[in-house]
Amino acid sequence: MRWSFGACLLLLAVGCGRKATRADCEAVVDKNVEVKLRADGVTDPPLVQKRKEELRESLKDDIDKCVGKRVTDGMLTCVKGAETAEQIDKCLR
């Protein structure tokens, strides 16, 4: 699972737009956590939040590498509306 989140963050490296903030990069991680847990039938908000925090910590190096990469507002809007990990991947291409 670590690889897929890291790969998503690295996809932010391409394209024009603006530089990604830490919040942008964490939002991609958070959305991945949400769709993965929802697919597994986990919807308890405190559990989802705990898992987001755990992954942000374990992916700290990947998030650090993501900060400053190019993103567009359209890309991030697409991620926010994504329902699956595959849709998130498409948003970031």
Residue 37 lies in domain: 2-9+19-91
CA angle 28, 57, 26 (to 5 degrees): 20
Q: Residue 15's pLDDT band (boundaries 50, 70, 90)? A: low
For the chain, what is the radius of gyration of the CA atoms?
Answer: 12
Q: Is residue 69 part of a domain?
A: yes
pLDDT: which is higher, 6 or 72: 72
Q: Is residue 53 part of a domain?
A: yes
Q: Is residue 59 part of a domain?
A: yes
Q: Is residue 58 part of a domain?
A: yes
Q: Is residue 51 part of a domain?
A: yes
DSSP-based three-state secondary structure for 28: helix
Structure tokens belonging to residue 6: 């890291």
Q: Is residue 62 part of a domain?
A: yes
Average pLDDT estimate for 1-25: 68
Quick one: pLDDT at residue 3? Answer: 44
Domain count of the fold of the chain = 1
Q: Is residue 14 part of a domain?
A: no
Per residue in 44-66, pLDDT (tens digit) is 999 999 999 999 999 999 999 99
Question: 27: Cβ–Cβ under 8 A, 6 or more apart, which residues?
Answer: 76, 79, 80
